[in-house]
Chain A
Amino acid sequence: MRAPLLLLRGLQTTLATDNGALTVVDGVDLDVREGEILGLVGESGSGKSMTLRSILRLIRPPGRVSGEILWRGRDLVPLREPEMRAIRGREIGMIFQEPMTALNPVLSVGRQILENLRAHTDLGRTARRNRTVELLDLVGIPAAAQRVNDYPHQFSGGMRQRAMIAIALASNPSLLLADEPTTALDVTIQDQILKLLLRLRETLGMAVILVTHDLGVVAQSCDRVAVMYAGRVAEIGEVSAVFAAPRHAYTLGLLQSVPDARRIRQALRPIGGAPPPPGTVGDRCAFIPRCDFATAACEVRRPPLISIGGGRLAACVHGDRLQQAEWAA
Chain B
Amino acid sequence: MMDTGLLPVLSTEAAPSSPGAPLLVVEKLTKTFPRRQSLRSLIRGEPRKRVHALSDVDLTIHRGETLGIVGESGCGKSTLARCLVRLYRTDSGRIAYAGLDVGSLKGADLRRFNRRVQMVFQDPYGSLNPRMTVRATLAEALSVHRMRPPREIEGRINELMDLVHLPRGAARRRPHEFSGGQRQRIGIARALALEPDCLVADELVSALDVSVQAQMVNLLLELQQRLQLTVLFIAHDLRLVRHLSHRVAVMYLGRVVELAETEALFTRPRHPYTQALLKAAPELDPRLRSTSDAVRGELPSPVNPPPGCPFHTRCPDAIALCMTVRPELKPLLDGRLAACHIAAAEDGLAAL
* Residue ranges of A at the interface with B (Cβ–Cβ < 8 Å): 43-44, 156, 158-159, 186-192, 194-195, 198-199, 213-217, 219-221, 239-240, 243, 253-255, 257-261, 263-272, 274
Cross-chain contact of A265 among B210, B215, B243 (Cβ < 8 A): B243
Q: Which of B227-282 contact A (CB under 8 A)?
A: 236, 238-240, 242-244, 246, 262-263, 266, 276-277, 279-282
Whether B132 sits at the interface, judged by CB under 8 Å, is no
Whether B286 sits at the interface, judged by CB under 8 Å, is yes
Cross-chain contact of A268 among B214, B246, B299 (Cβ < 8 A): B214
* 8 A-B pairs whose Cβ atoms sit less than 8 Å apart in the complex: A158-B298, A192-B294, A219-B282, A219-B289, A220-B289, A239-B286, A243-B286, A274-B212
Given A214-B282, A219-B283: A188 in contact with B209 (beta carbons within 8 A) = no
Whether B221 sits at the interface, judged by CB under 8 Å, is yes
B294 touches A191 (CB 8 A): yes
* Residue ranges of B at the interface with A (Cβ–Cβ < 8 Å): 66, 72-73, 179, 181, 209-215, 217-218, 221-222, 236, 238-240, 242-244, 246, 262-263, 266, 276-277, 279-287, 289, 291-295, 298-299
Instruction: For the complex formed, measure the closest distance between the CB of A75 and the CB atoms of chain B, giving whole angstroms.
Output: 34
- Tell me whether chain A's interface is mostly helix, strand or loop, or mixed: helix
B283 touches A188 (CB 8 A): no
Cross-chain contact of A216 among B181, B218, B282 (Cβ < 8 A): B282
Bound CA–CA A158/B280 (angstroms)? 14
B214 touches A188 (CB 8 A): no
Instruction: For the complex formed, measure the closest distance between the CB of A281 and the CB atoms of chain B, giving whole angstroms.
Output: 18
* Closest B residue to A257 using CB positions: B214
- Cβ-closest 4 pairs across A and B: A216-B282, A270-B214, A259-B243, A186-B72
Bound CA–CA A195/B222 (angstroms)? 39
Instruction: For the complex formed, measure the closest distance between the CB of A268 and the CB atoms of chain B, giving whole angstroms.
Output: 4
Cross-chain contact of B295 among A188, A264, A269 (Cβ < 8 A): A188
A240 touches B242 (CB 8 A): no
Instruction: For the complex formed, measure the closest distance between the CB of B47 and the CB atoms of chain A, giving whole angstroms.
Output: 23
A44 touches B209 (CB 8 A): yes
Instruction: For the complex formed, measure the closest distance between the CB of B112 and the CB atoms of chain A, giving whole angstroms.
Output: 31
Cross-chain contact of A191 among B73, B246, B293 (Cβ < 8 A): B293
* Closest B residue to A290 using CB positions: B211
B262 touches A271 (CB 8 A): no
* Closest B residue to A256 using CB positions: B214
Cross-chain contact of A270 among B218, B236, B291, B298 (Cβ < 8 A): B218
Given A44-B209, A198-B291: A186 in contact with B217 (beta carbons within 8 A) = no
Instruction: For the complex formed, measure the closest distance between the CB of A74 and the CB atoms of chain B, giving whole angstroms.
Output: 33
